[in-house]
Every structure is written in C-alpha cells, then in structure tokens.
C-alpha cells in the first residue's frame, strides 16, 4: 500500500513461530490510545490475495494480552480468500490502563491455514458417544479422583 514503505511485511520472529507478526500502519504523528474497555481497528498496511481454499487468521499477541490486557475483539479474525481490502486488527483493551499504539508496533499475528469446506448431510439422529450432549463445564474443573 502507498505510504507504508517503512512498515515491514509480516514476518516470523523465530524458526518455530506459527504466526507472522503484523505491524501498526498508523501515522507516526498520531499514536492511537486505546482506553480500558475501548476497541479500535488498527490498519496494518497489508492487502493480500490468498489462494482459494486458504484463510488468514488474525490473532492476539500473547505478550500484549498478558502484559497489557490487549485482546482481539473477534478472535481469531478471518481473512477470506476473496477479500482484497487492507487487513486491520480489531483490538480491545481489557486492561486497567490506557494502551498506546505507535506506528510500527507489532500489534497482532497472522496465521495462513487451509480451509475445509463441508457438504451437509441432514439426518434424523446422531450416533451415540460417551459424552453425548454434555456441554459447557459438564466435566468439571478439578483433577479427577480415582
């Protein structure tokens, strides 16, 4: 994108990293403050063309989450293969202090992954499993005692 020559392309920081860091492409003279409870769409200066059958997932950076309470509003965000606009990271401040985003800050990570599409087969009933319809919290939270 125009005006983002100083913003690095997404990059893996270690050999074992699953996600590529995304950088804030906001004006250098206008840092963005996200107050507690507020959310903001942070531009990255990146547009991409993914092959059909792939998506890009935009996820929070664990250090920002742990140290500052910065999370993704729609975690993970999905970039579809037919989207051609700029990627933005939808951040929310769940912390107790204001958080300032500066130009070039690493604000999110991106993982490119294959997408599996399903073909629906409507049935009258499902096969039985040990779990059955047990949902939210049905297995408890503590260590099982034998």
CA distance 58 to 108: 7
8 in any annotated domain? no
9 in any annotated domain? no
CATH of the domain at 95: 2.70.40.10
What is residue 10's predicted lDDT score, i.e. its pLDDT?
Answer: 96
Instruction: Give, for all 146 residues of the chain, the pLDDT tens digit.
Output: 888 999 999 999 999 999 999 999 999 999 999 999 999 999 999 999 999 999 999 999 999 999 999 999 998 999 999 999 999 999 999 999 999 999 999 999 999 999 999 999 999 999 999 888 888 888 888 887 76
Q: How many CA atoms lie within 13 A of 25 on its CB side?
A: 21
Structural domain of residue 102, as residue ranges?
A: 20-114
What is residue 141's predicted lDDT score, i.e. its pLDDT?
Answer: 82
What is residue 146's predicted lDDT score, i.e. its pLDDT?
Answer: 67
List of residues 6+ apart from 26 with CB closer than 8 A: 32, 42, 43, 101, 102, 103
Domains identified in the chain, total number: 1
CA distance 61 to 106: 8
Using alpha carbons, select from 44, 96, 93 the residue that is nearest to residue 71: 93
6 in any annotated domain? no
State the pairing for strand pair 54-59/32-34.
Answer: unpaired
Surface-to-core class of residue 86, CB atoms within 10 Å of its CB (0-12 exposed, 13-18 middle, 19+ buried): middle
11 in any annotated domain? no
């Amino acid at each position: 994108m125009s005006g983002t020559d100083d913003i690095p392309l997404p990059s893996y920081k270690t050999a074992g990293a699953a996600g590529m860091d995304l950088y804030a492409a906001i004006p250098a003279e206008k840092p963005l403050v996200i107050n507690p409870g507020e959310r903001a769409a942070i531009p990255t200066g990146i547009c991409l063309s993914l092959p059909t059958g792939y998506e890009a997932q935009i996820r929070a950076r664990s250090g920002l989450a742990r140290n500052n309470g910065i999370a993704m509003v729609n975690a993970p965000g999905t970039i579809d293969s037919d989207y051609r606009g700029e990627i933005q990271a939808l951040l929310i401040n769940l912390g107790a202090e204001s958080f300032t985003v500066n130009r070039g800050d690493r604000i999110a990570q991106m993982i490119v992954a294959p997408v599996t599409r399903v073909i629906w087969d409507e049935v009258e009933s499902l096969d039985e499993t040990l779990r059955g319809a047990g949902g939210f919290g049905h297995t408890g939270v503590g260590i099982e005692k034998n």
